């Protein structure tokens, strides 16, 4: 069953008390709007869902206790554990078996998280890019709060009430270009091109974006979920080039339906070039079957694009889940 069938189910269950009055839009006014007819054209186009496969993973994370320098570990999908030399950061945590409001329906993981919630070090801050179920997983967020009630949660404008209603504390919502200090790290919320929706009546009632982490040690950028836009050039102009960036490379086919919301590997490379970041890491592939491209295709196309642009393989890496990525200036 294709990805958006889960969202059709999801559209039935959002409590109206959690709706935000404001409606948001992208910086270029693109609302990423698709009609129900377009949705059904994709769902019924005769294309089979891609074959489910398990991508290669690593258990290198088990040596984490010996790690003194800044690092990142891809846990799966858009979830990264990042230590920037100051704080422990967790991005878009999803540890559930499905990216869905229901435990028995919706996109199911092809691989387990590289680390369990209990395996994680103490998390200082959790950042969420937007409220889609594959990025805003209430089970994971509630469990993280239970494991450490002092964890700070940063969410887009319009999503705070959803977490506060479930007992989470230290929740802050940000608009684009808002900033917050955690430890010695300044965290900026930046625009990307996407949209938000968890139910029938809440399209674009909360914001979406990327996260830029600035400390004395490093500048890091996590793009969340995005289509290609000029937002990345603007982020560079306002905040400078990050030392490392985490950029999605999957969930892009069919292009006529996904282009406004999800970059393909070639566009992901262009984002890295726009940011003038010397090193990037891929994400948003190999965990769930959300769209039509073959599961293993994104890193293959990424490699081909680097070769076509005569860029070093180290410019943009597609790591294994669980691999320890060294972050140095």
Q: Tens of pLDDT along 37-85?
A: 776 777 766 666 789 999 999 999 999 987 889 999 999 999 999 999 9
199 Rama class: left (phi>0) / alpha (psi -120 to 50) / beta: beta
Q: Residue 129: name the closest of 155, 111, 164, 104 by CA.
A: 155
Number of domains in the chain: 1
The answer to whether residue 165 sits within a structural domain is yes
> Whole-model pTM?
0.93
Nearest to 127 by CA among 91, 152, 178: 91
pLDDT digits 0-9 by tens, 99-128: 988 888 889 999 999 999 999 999 999 999
Q: Which residues contact 114 (CB under 8 A, 6 or more apart)?
A: 57, 58, 61, 73, 74, 75, 76, 321, 322
Residue 164 · residue 196 · CB < 8 Å: no
Binned at pLDDT 50, 70 and 90, residue 266 comes out as very high
CATH of the domain at 236: 3.60.15.10
Domain boundaries, position 295: 4-12+63-326
Q: Is residue 186 included in any domain, yes or no?
A: yes
In a domain, 53, yes or no: no
- Token pair listed for 302: 């990424």
Q: Is residue 32 part of a domain?
A: no
Tokens 């209430």 map to which residue?
138
Q: Is residue 152 part of a domain?
A: yes
Residue 49 in domain: no
Read out DSSP for 97-132?
SBSSSSTTSS-B-SS--SS-GGGSPPPSEEE----S
- Residue 4 pLDDT class (50, 70, 90 cuts): very low
């Amino acid at each position: 069953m294709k990805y958006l069938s889960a969202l059709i189910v999801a559209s039935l269950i959002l409590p109206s008390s959690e709706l935000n009055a404001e409606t948001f839009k992208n910086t270029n006014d693109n609302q990423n709007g698709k009609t129900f007819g377009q949705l059904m054209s994709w769902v019924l186009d005769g294309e089979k869902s891609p074959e489910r496969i398990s991508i290669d993973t690593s258990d290198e994370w088990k040596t984490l206790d010996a790690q003194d320098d800044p690092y990142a570990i891809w846990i799966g999908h858009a979830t990264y554990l990042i230590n920037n030399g100051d704080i422990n950061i967790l991005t878009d945590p999803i540890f559930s078996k499905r990216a869905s409001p229901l435990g028995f329906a919706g996109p199911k993981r092809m691989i387990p998280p590289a680390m369990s919630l209990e395996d994680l070090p103490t998390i200082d801050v959790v950042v969420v890019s937007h409220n889609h179920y594959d990025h805003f997983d209430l089970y994971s967020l509630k469990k993280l709060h239970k494991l450490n009630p002092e964890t700070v949660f940063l969410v887009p404008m319009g999503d705070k009430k959803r977490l506060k209603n479930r007992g989470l504390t230290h929740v802050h919502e940000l608009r684009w270009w808002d900033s917050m200090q955690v430890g010695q790290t300044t965290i900026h919320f930046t625009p990307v091109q996407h949209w938000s929706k968890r139910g029938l009546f809440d399209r674009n009632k909360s914001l979406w974006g990327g996260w830029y982490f600035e400390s004395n040690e490093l500048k890091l950028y996590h793009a969340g979920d995005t289509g290609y836009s000029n937002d990345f050039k603007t982020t560079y102009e306002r905040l400078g080039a990050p030392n490392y960036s985490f950029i999605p490379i999957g969930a892009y086919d069919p292009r006529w339906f996904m282009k406004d919301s999800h970059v393909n590997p070639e566009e992901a490379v262009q984002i890295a070039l726009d940011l003038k970041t010397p090193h990037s890491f891929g994400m948003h592939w190999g965990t769930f079957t959300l769209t039509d491209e073959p599961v293993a295709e994104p890193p293959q196309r990424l490699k081909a694009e680097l070769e076509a642009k005569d860029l070093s393989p180290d410019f943009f890496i597609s790591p294994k889940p669980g691999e320890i990525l060294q972050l140095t200036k």
